[in-house]
Structure 1
Amino acid sequence: MWRSLASNMLTMLVVGLFLLGGVILWGKTQYTAEGPLETAICLRVERGSNMTKVSRDLESQGAVKSGAMFRLGAKYSEKTGQLKAGSFLVDARSSMEQIIEQVTTSGASSCGTEIVYRVGITRITTQVRELDPATNKFVERANFQLGTDETPAIYTNKLAEPDTRYRVALAEGVTSWQVVEALKAMEMLDGDPGTRPAEGMLAPDSYEVVSGSKRADILAEMQERQQLRINAAWEARTDDLPLENPEEMLILASIIEKETGVPTERRQVASVFTNRLNRGMRLQTDPTVIYGVTKGEGVLGRGLRQSELRKVTPWNTYVIEGLPPTPIANPGMASLEAAVNPDTTEYVFFVADGTGGHAFAETLEQHNRNVVKWRAIEAERSNN
């Protein structure tokens, strides 16, 4: 009898262990298998949250079949206590293992709200946008001019949310003064910006920042990027340029940047200034004169006066020889490259052509004809 009982118990134990092993194997398979989510979602994990809350949220959104299984997987992988706050993009069919990896590895949000500050030549445009998980594209929720327009409520509300992401985007051709003033206006940043960076030494680019970032640190990163670009452009320069050093390249690049917004024209504009420098001609470019008036602090907002075109300043290239003493803006990489690799032309003149671009000329006679055409276009526009 005892032998029979022991045999039965042993059999039951073996069966039980077998079943337990099967359950564990099944659970592991479920944990790593493709999930039920049909469309990507944005999972928000609040500060102070826990795996129970997260699992219930995932379950309610159809991202996991079993919240209990999700919690067991987190416990088994020893990640229960590693939960991060943030907004996480959970792709369709993500496994429980993949989701747990997302919410425990990094606190950097991958979806949710992003506030973008676009620092332009004339204004700071603030855009509040949210990532649509279904299309993986941003949807604009608000767009206004910082410091000018009425501040929308959604902007104020999103500033208070800890997982809101921020981006600062500098347009080509902004001045260092404009950048510093823009950073001062961004209330989620911290600290004094310090001494204004030298003109031309801030890289037009997009910078991801976080709430509480130091303004001085952001400016330092902008300068570091620009220095790398300056080094790369100068290293790749062509021969026989009328430029002695990277500083002169930066000055010329800033003039090119302010003279044209048409990408395909940059090297042509560069060729005009290169030809003028090689021939000992004055550059005669309005943006440098404007900089002599404003020093880069704001926008002139009107046409140049004859008295300003005649006034001697270090930046008035109608009266001085060669390049001005400093850049007049922060040029982008394309303008830096154009400055040291201009088109090969005989152009020494250019004027607006009414399309947003310019008409180029090799002789004064050709240039004068182009000027007549441009003035006719201006007159027609003023009459309409």
Structure 2
Amino acid sequence: MTTLRAFLALLLFIATLGLAGFMGYAYVTGEFRAKGPLAEERTVVIPPGSGVDAIAQTLAQEGIIAEPLVFKIGVRLSKTGRQLKAGEYQFEPGVSPAQVMDLLVAGAVVQRRFTVAEGLTTATILDIIRGVEGLKGPITLAPAEGALLPETYNFQKGDTRDSVIRRMERAMTETLDRLWEGRAEGLPISTKEQALILASVVEKETGVATERPMVAGVFINRLRKGMPLQSDPTVIYGLSEGTGLLGRGLTRKDLGKEHPWNTYRIGGLPATPICNPGTDAIAAVLHPADTDALYFVADGTGGHAFARTLDEHNRNVRAWRKVQKSQPSRQ
């Protein structure tokens, strides 16, 4: 009888443990999928190298989850502990611990972005990168003029400024390589570097996207004939010591100054790119318009008037000067 009582007591103890375990499991799984305490949208950074315990504590401190233990047990039952990824996450109000886990497993981090416009100098782009919120670290790289591809770049909070610059350099290299492979035949430029230099000049000469192939065609024609490019932006670049900003209009004296970027004084291309050209400007140089034009001048509408002969060009210049005189003077 004593043995039977002991056996029955053991069964009861086991049953009690099983019931308690089942109830505990049901509680944890229920809480794991239940609405969380977050009342309004919040962004939280999970530091690199954080384990499940540290992640649970961070989430609890930020008010994303109520019970770190529930999150830890839920993650371990799901066997996803090694799959949780660091980064910046945006959480919606009421997000459950299970949903939090899914976001961290998916690595659904906040995507930040910044945009670099075509035609900016490298110095200007580096200033932009220095001011981008969310990037970290100083800039230790010194990219060459024309080495950075202008476009919109996504990044994660905590990415270094140097890493973004390297991405921009790779993007320019890959773009130039791709476009160079499909270039038109018979161009008077023999290297990718020359294509980049001419593209930078085209980029600075016109802000009208549809004009780029025509402007490129004029410069290609001048190179073929051995004529100087006579591009004002190249002169400005040299006089401004690479900033591209002169702060005044060009004078005849400026056009006569000797420097490696003065395409009124030198033959062929300037010494280096004068800005960072976009994809369309590079494509325009490698597929220029089929034109006989050798000259262009502003036409007063934001675009340019193109001419085949010097006489025609001079008429266009006189028309442009009339437009200038008719415009209100700027004090």
TM-score of the two chains, using structure 2 as the length reference: 0.74
Which stretch has the larger CA shift, 238-247 or 3-12?
3-12
1:44 offset after TM fit, Å?
2.2
Tell me, yes or no, if the aligned pair for 1:51 and 1:83 is still in contact at 8 Å.
no
Other-structure match for 1:54: 59
The answer on 1:379 being equivalent to 2:325 is yes
Task: Assess if the C-alpha contact under 8 Å between 2:87 and 2:157 holds in 1.
Answer: no
Between the aligned partners of 1:209 and 1:36, the Cα distance in structure 2 is 26
Aligned runs of 1:1-384 on 2, under 5 Å? 24=25, 28=29, 31=32, 41-44=41-44, 51=56, 54-55=59-60, 58=63, 69-77=70-78, 87-90=88-91, 96-103=97-104, 110=110, 169-179=115-125, 188-190=136-138, 192-193=140-141, 196-205=142-151, 206=153, 208=155, 213=160, 215=162, 219-297=165-243, 299-383=245-329
Cα distance change on mapping 1:36 and 1:262 into 2, 3 Å: farther
**190 and 198 in structure 1: CA distance in 2 versus 1, 3 angstrom threshold:** closer
| Structure with higher strand content | 1
Contact 2:222 2:228 in 1 (8 A): yes
- Do the aligned residues in 1 keep the contact of 2:307 with 2:313 (CA within 8 Å)? yes
Q: How has the CA–CA distance of structure 1 residues 255 and 110 changed in structure 2, closer, same or farther, with 3 Å as cutoff?
A: same
Q: Residues 255 and 287 of structure 1 are in contact (CA less than 8 Å); yes or no, is this contact kept in structure 2?
A: yes
Residue by residue, what CA displacement relative to the aligned partner does 1:214-259 show, whole Å, maximum 9, x if unpaired? 64x5544433332222211111101121212212211111111111
The 1:35/1:371 distance shift into structure 2, 3 A limit, reads farther
Question: 2 CA distance for matches of 1:171 and 1:364?
Answer: 34
Cα RMSD over matched residues? 4.4
1:29-70 Cα deviation digits (max 9, x unpaired): 774x69689998334257796525624755xxxx77987744
For residue 155 of structure 2, give the secondary structure of its aligned residue in structure 1. strand
Offset of residue 291 of structure 1: 2.3
Runs of 5+ unmatched residues, structure 1: 115-166
Per the alignment, in what secondary structure is the counterpart of residue 224 of structure 1? helix
Preserved CA contact (<8 Å) 1:292 1:313: yes
Deviations 1:232-287 (A, max 9, x none): 11111011212122122111111111111222221121122122223333322111
Unaligned runs of 5+ in 2: none
Q: Distance in 1 between matches of 2:139 and 2:267?
A: 41
SS of the residue 1:254 aligns to = helix
Q: What secondary structure sits across from 2:100 in the alignment? A: helix
Amino acid at match of 1:281: M
Instruction: Output the amino acid matched with 1:44.
Output: V
Helix, strand or coil: the match of 1:72?
A: helix
Return the alpha-carbon distance in structure 2 between the equivalents of residues 38 and 72 of structure 1.
20
* Residue-by-residue CA offset, 1:95-138 (whole Å, 9 max, x unaligned): 533312434776x9527xx6xxxxxxxxxxxxxxxxxxxxxxxx
Change (3 A) 1:82 1:297: same
Offset at 1:88? 1.2
Taking a change above 3 Å as real, the CA distance of residues 322 and 190 of structure 1, as seen in their structure-2 partners, is closer
Tell whether the 8 Å contact from 1:175 to 1:199 is kept in structure 2 after alignment.
Answer: yes
Shift of 1:179: 4.3
Q: Classify the secondary structure of the residue corresponding to 1:379.
A: helix
Cα distance change on mapping 1:51 and 1:181 into 2, 3 Å? closer
CA radius of gyration, larger in = 2
> Which of structures 1 and 2 has the larger relative contact order (alpha carbons within 8 angstroms, sep 6+)?
2
Query: Counterpart of 2:327 in 1: which secondary structure?
Result: helix
How many residues in Structure 1 have an aligned counterpart in Structure 2?
321
Q: Which residue of 2 aligns with 1:147?
A: none
1:128-179 alpha-carbon deviations (Å, 9 max, x no partner) = xxxxxxxxxxxxxxxxxxxxxxxxxxxxxxxxxxxxxxx6643322223444
Q: Distance in 2 between matches of 1:45 and 1:209?
A: 10
Q: Which residue in the other structure is 1:150 paired with?
A: none
Query: How far apart in 2 are the matches of 1:210 and 1:19?
Result: 44
TM-score (norm 1): 0.65
Cα distance in structure 1, aligned partners of 2:312 and 2:288: 21
Cα gap change, 1:17 to 1:316, in 2 (>3 Å):
same
Partner SS, residue 382 of structure 1: coil
- Secondary structure at the residue paired with 2:321? helix
